[in-house]
Amino acid sequence: MSWVPVSPNSHFPLQNLPYGVFSTPGQPQHRIGVAIGEQILDLSKVSHLFSGPLLKGHQQVFREATLNSLMGLTKEHWAEARATLTQLLARDCATVRDSSLKETAMVPQSCATMHLPATIGDYTDFYSSLDHAKNVGTMFRSKENALMPNWKYLPVGYHGRASSVVISGTPVRRPNGQTRPVETEPPKFGPCRLMDFELEMAFFVGGSCPALGDSITAQQAGEHIFGMVLMNDWSARDIQKWEYIPLGPFGAKNMGTSISPWVVTMQALEPFAVANRSEERRVGKECRSRW
């Protein structure tokens, strides 16, 4: 439990504590906060309280305008930050609750404007849902040729336009582009008539980067995934159908990609982890073959 009032139906209990970047009318500078109930704990006001053995030399990351520097630390730093936040907001902790910090560091979410949580230099969108791949393949080709031969072997993806990533709620304009509605006629230029939206998960990655050309294995991925947001990959399907061969999406995907403002950390999601079902099936087959 927290000393901050939290509704039983809130998305932001003490067990969540997602990170975001916000501003207020009285202080327009972008700053990092953590959601708790209907409030935001302004980390720029409490950065000096991150005094653990790993973070005492990195307190400046909580005073910056994006999460990039915090995400650039290690998984151990992230865990220490979460432990500190959990302690500061716990019901029996008086450090913020009974001090003047409470007046300056606690901001109602209703008074805040949310911003992109990080400067996004690049992103890769993966085509990893079987149902989605079949639906789109059927739309573009046929039911018999829905999946391309490489789909079940590669992590198929494309690099999107990072400058078009926007926070949820930002208007996305219907794009103009080339389409070919009649196969026997030349393409036409005009507004998209088949706008599509998709519910996806997006991962923010960080940690220490390897040298250019070095690899990060799948087993090491957990050391680099900072947290997750919801994502809407807006798609102009009629434009995409005409342009995607041979090099993939371009104008059909660059008009906007929406993400939710709060980054839920992997530490917060750990209690809900489940076994890899494909691994379970593989082990099950091995056990049956042994018997």
Residues recognised as catalytic: 132
- Amino acid at residue number 197: F
CA-nearest of 102, 258, 251 to 187 is: 251
End-to-end CA distance of the chain: 49
Cα 279 from chain centre: 25
Question: Whole-angstrom Cα distance, residue 233 to residue 137?
Answer: 17
Exposed, middle or buried: residue 122 (CB in 10 Å: 0-12, 13-18, 19+)?
exposed
User: Looking at the DSSP assignment, which residues form a beta bridge with residue 248?
Assistant: none
Question: Whole-angstrom Cα distance, residue 237 to residue 235?
Answer: 6
DSSP classification of residue 15? T
Between strands 195-196 and 235-236, the pairing is antiparallel
Name every residue whose Cβ is closer than 8 Å to that of residue 167 and which is 6 or more positions away in sequence. Answer: 114, 115, 116, 258, 259, 260, 261
Question: Do 149 and 104 contact (CB within 8 A), yes or no?
Answer: no
